[in-house]
Amino acid sequence: MQKTKIQEINVHGLSVEKAITRILYAIERAYFNYDFEVRVIHGYNKGDAIKTAIRESDEIINSPYVRNVRPDLLNKGVTIIELHFQEEDYDY
C-alpha cells in the first residue's frame, strides 16, 4: 500500500463548529495513515472565521498529533497543519 504524504480537506461553507469537528477527524485519520500534513482549504474571504478558529483552536494546537499550524505562504485561503512523526513510526 502506498502511503500519501498530504491529506486535504475542504471546509468551504461550513460553520466554524462543523469545520473544526471535520478537521479534527481529518488530523486523526491523516496521522494513522502516516501522512505528514493536513491542508485545510477554508477560503480567504468568507473563510476568515474558520481560518482564525483553526489557528486559535486549543483542540487543534494541543492535539498530540499536531506539530505546527501555519498559513500556506502561497495561498491565503489554506492553512497547513503539520503532524508529529518519528522515524521508527514508519514501516518501510
1 domain residue, yes or no: no
**Structural domain of 66:** 6-89
pTM: 0.85
3-state secondary structure of 3: coil
Residue 1 has pLDDT above 50, yes or no: no
52 domain residue, yes or no: yes
CA-to-CA distance for 16 and 73, rounded, in angstroms?
22
Residue 37's CATH number: 3.30.1370.110
Structure confidence at residue 50 as a pLDDT band (50, 70, 90): very high
